[in-house]
Every structure is written in structure tokens, then in C-alpha cells.
Amino acid sequence: MNPFTPSAPAPFASAPGPTVRAVHDEFHGDLLEVSMGPQHPSTHGVFRMVATLDGEQLVKLKPVFGYLHRNHEKIAENTTYLGSMPYTDRLDYLCSMSTNWAYALAVEKLAGQAVPERAQYLRIIMAELTRLVNHSCLVGFLFNDLGTSFTPLLYAFREREKIIDLFEALSGSRMMCNYQRFGGCRVDPTPEWLAAAQQLVDNFPRFLDEYERMLTGNEIMLARTQGVGRLDATHAINAGITGPVLRASGVDYDLRKVDAYGFYAQFDFRVPLGAHGDTYDRYMMRILEMRESVKILQQAFKRLPAGPIMDPKAKLRGFRPKAGEAYGRLEGPKGELGFFLISDGSPNPYRYRVRPPSLINLTLLEEMCLGHTIADAVVILGSIDIVLGEVDR
């Protein structure tokens, strides 16, 4: 049975069973249609939700996006392969390192390009640091949506800034790192940088412990998030949802394990799984994944080999892959981040397509929100983790 046909029963038993009634009703009063966004403090950018409210309860919710559309894919088809690399930074502007890597992965697959060992380790270090940046920002913003006056967010930003400073020291830019190249990385970190990064990673669990001690067990936090925005595994799989949102629903699907791209097969880490698929599980997935990322980073720092960071045969300028197509994907902090490329042998890709996890995770927003209140809708949106640069492209 396809649950997305209109005749399917209301998908979520946990929701109090919303029934959309007529907008005008003599007895119950009118429904209220509120357009939340594109200018709204908690739609995380220029996202818009057209919400129909029965009192405080949502009976209909229509996500509207595209306000930040920049024609990313067409622009990439009109520029060289390397020329798109800095442009991928702007997709998910919190996680430029992973986005760079996903694009490099696709191009390397297209051109059959090898990557030296040290670069593979550096890529894992950068990707996991990016995961820490993304997840700590996310839990901070989630608490902001829950109504704290910025305190948890600023605690999270304190840690995030330290990592961002490292990125700046390495790549010259805080957020638009433009670090990965086809066949390696752009700059080799100095021993001092590595020592600083090592120290940061060693201290990171202390931040997580502090954060959890103050917030995870809080009764208001539990009451606001547990049982809110349930998403069951079947629906999540059918809608193509990936990343922590999918794992919170209990599906064991992590591309670092499934594809074992890069050198992830050599690392020892676990994939946390949720059981309820609600907002609390989605929050805890991020916290637990940060702990696993710290483990991966510590192993990577221990084993980081010496050697070149670029494959000597790699060609950046005048790069013309032979005709063909390739799909490169990795486990981004938000989910499966993929680039699909078709080459016709020219310096520009014939077709360039991004699979943005933010957009695809957003597709079930209405189903998750229905029957909850408008306050919950904001929290559910926050727990999905979207970046509008990636949703709208």
C-alpha cells in the first residue's frame, strides 16, 4: 500500500486525529490561516509555512520554499568542474567541508581519480568536525525554538566558534572553506593546527556533558519534545528521508557504514538508533552522534599518516573527464548528500544534480505536524534540521 495516495488513512496514530473542517463554521468559529514566513524568527531562513489553525491546533500545513533559489545547478552546468567547488560551499553553508567532499567524491568517481591516504584522513577529520559544528548549532537552535532566551544557543555557538576558527586557520574562510579538491585536499594542516584540533576534540565531550546535564533531563524539555512530531520508519523510508531523522525512527542506515566511502571502514564507531521517531529522539540522535564523531576524530588524529595530500596525477586545470555519469554520495550531517554528474567530455558537466537532504527530509513536515499545536510545528521544523541554501539551491 502506498501511504501517500490520497485515499490512505491518516498516517500517524500518535496525532490526535485532525479533521479538516470548513473554514467557515457557524458553531465552532472560523479556522485561522497564518502565513508563517518567509520573514519569521524561527523558520531558519526564508522558509514559509502556510498553517491553518483550529484554535492553536494545526489542521493543515503547506510548506512553501524557493525564496532562496539561486539556480545553483544550471550555473554549475555552465562552469568548469573546479569552478563549482567553491559554489558548493553555499549549498549548506554550515557544512561546507562535507558538501565539498560529496562533490569531490562524485567527480573522482566520474574521472576514476585516486586519493592519497593522508587526504582521506584529513577529509574524515574535516567531515566529522563539520558534523560537530552542524549538530551543536542544531541543538542550540532547537532550544531556541523551544523558547529559551538564547542561552543554550550561545553555549553551542561557543564550541562552534572554536571549530570555525580552526577552519579559518586552515582554509582562510570560516564557513566557505572550499577545501576539497579532486584527488586530495587544498592545504596541509601544520602540526600546530593538528595539536589545536586534537585539544578541541579532547575537550568536546565536556561540553556535551555540560549541555546534557543542563538540558536533556529538563522536565519542560521532555514534555515539549517527547511524543511530538512522530515519524514512523515506513513513512520515513518511503519519503526517502535520511540522516539522523531517519535513524531517530529506528532505521539503521548510515552511509558511513553502508557505503564505507573514504576510509570509514577502518574506523570504530557506532550508529545510534531511536525507537520513537519523535522530536526528542531526533535531538538525542544528534547528541549521541556528536559523541561518536569525537571517537572517530580521536582515532583519525592518532593514525593520521604522513605523505602527500594531492594525488600527483590529479589535474585541476583543464580537467576534462571522459564521457559518462557518476553519483557520489556521503553521510552529511543532515542526511544523504549526493551529487549526480553527467559528463560529455567537455570542461563543464552536461548535467549536474544535487540531492539535498534538507529538502527531502522536509517533505513529510505536514504529516509530522498535523494535530499538534503551532508551537510544536516550530519545534518539529527545528528538529528536522534544514538549511535554506540547500533546500532552495
Partner 1 sequence: MSAASLTDSFLERAPLALRDWVVNFLPAPLQWLGHHLITIIAVLAVFGTFFAFTTIAERKLLARLQNRLGPNRSGLPWIKGLTLFGLSQPFADAIKTLTKEDIVPAAADKCLHFLAPVIVVAFSLMTFAVLPFGRHLIPVELDAALLYFFAAGAATELAIFMAGWSSRNKYSLLAAMRALAQLISYELPLILSVVPIVLVTSTLSTQGIVLAQGGWTFGFLPHWFVFTPWGFPGFIIFLVAALAESNRSPFDLPEAESELIAGHLTEYSGFKYALFFMAEYFGLTALSGLGVTLFLGGWQAPIAALQFIPSYAWFMLKLIGMLVFFIWIRGTLLRLRIDQLTRLAWQFLVPLALLNVGNAAFWILTSSWSGPLQLIRWAVSLAIIVIPFILLGRTLTAGYAPRAYRYAP
Q: Is 206 in the site for partner 1 (CB under 8 A)?
A: no
Residue 273 lies near partner 1 (rule: CB under 8 A) = yes
Least distance to partner 1 from the beta carbon of 274, Å? 7
Of these, 112, 147, 307, 308, which contacts partner 1 (CB under 8 A)? 147
Cβ at position 161, least distance to partner 1 in Å: 10
**Contacts to partner 1 from residues 113-142, by CB under 8 A:** none
Q: Which three cell numbers stand for residue 86?
A: 567553491
Q: Choose which of 21, 28, 74, 158 interacts with partner 1 (CB under 8 A).
A: 158
Task: Output 254 or 392, the one with its CB closest to partner 1.
Answer: 254
Regarding 4 and contact with partner 1 (CB under 8 A), the answer is no
Site for partner 1 (CB under 8 A): how many residues?
51
Residue among 288, 311, 351 nearest 110 (CA) = 351
Residue closer to partner 1, measured from CB, 108 or 159? 159
Q: Scan residues 347-376 and list those touching partner 1 (CB under 8 A).
A: 373-376
The distance of closest approach from Cβ of residue 378 to partner 1 in the complex, given in angstroms and rounded to an integer, is 5
**Interatomic CA distance for residues 232 and 224, integer angstroms:** 19
Q: Is 218 in the site for partner 1 (CB under 8 A)?
A: yes
C-alpha cell at 310: 594531492
Whether the CB-CB separation of 184 and 116 falls below 8 Å is answered with yes
Provide the minimum distance between the beta carbon of 39 and partner 1 in the complex, in angstroms, as a whole number: 9
According to CB under 8 A, which one of 8, 17, 20, 55 is a site residue for partner 1?
Answer: 55
Out of 149, 302, 317, 318, name the contact with partner 1 by CB under 8 A: 149
Q: Least distance from C-beta 271 to partner 1, angstroms?
A: 4
Residue 134: CB atoms within 10 A of its CB come to 25
Residue located via cell numbers 584522513: 121
Piece of the chain touching partner 1 by CB under 8 A; list 107-115, 195-203, 250-258, 337-345: 250-258
Q: Are 383 and 282 in contact (CB under 8 A)?
A: yes
| CB 41, min distance to partner 1, A | 5
The Cα 339–Cα 44 span in angstroms is: 24
The interface with partner 1 within residues 274-303 (CB under 8 A) comprises 274-276, 280-281, 284, 288
Q: How far out from the chain centre does Cα 61 lie? A: 23
Assess 56 for contact with partner 1 (CB under 8 A): yes
Long-range contacts, 259-267 (Cβ 8 Å, 24+): 259/329, 259/330, 259/331, 261/105, 261/329, 261/330, 262/101, 262/120, 262/123, 262/124, 262/127, 262/330, 263/117, 263/120, 263/121, 263/124, 264/124, 266/303, 267/124, 267/296, 267/299, 267/300
Q: Does an H or E element contain 329, and which?
A: strand 324-332
Stretch that binds partner 1, among 84-92, 218-226, 341-349, 362-370 (CB under 8 A): 218-226
Place of cell 503551532: 374
Residue 176 Cα to chain centre, angstroms: 16
Verify binding: residue 271, partner 1, rule CB under 8 A.
Answer: yes
Nearest of 185, 177, 189, 186 to residue 99 by alpha carbon: 177
State the virtual CA torsion across 40, 43, 45, 47 in degrees, nearest 10. Answer: -100
Least distance from C-beta 376 to partner 1, angstroms?
Answer: 7
Which residues in the 22-41 window bind partner 1 by CB under 8 A? 32-34, 40-41
Give the H or E element holding residue 233: helix 233-238
Task: Please select the residue that binds partner 1; options are 66, 252, 265, 308, rule is CB under 8 A.
Answer: 252
310 vs 374 by CB, closer to partner 1: 374
Q: Which residues pair with 324 in a beta bridge?
A: 343
> Binding to partner 1 (CB under 8 A): which residues in 176-195?
none
Q: How far is CA 211 from CA 57, 99, 140, 159, 180, in A?
A: 31, 27, 10, 11, 32
Binding site for partner 1 (CB under 8 A): 32-34, 40-42, 53, 55-56, 143-151, 154-155, 158, 216-224, 226-227, 252, 254, 257, 270-276, 280-281, 284, 288, 373-376, 378
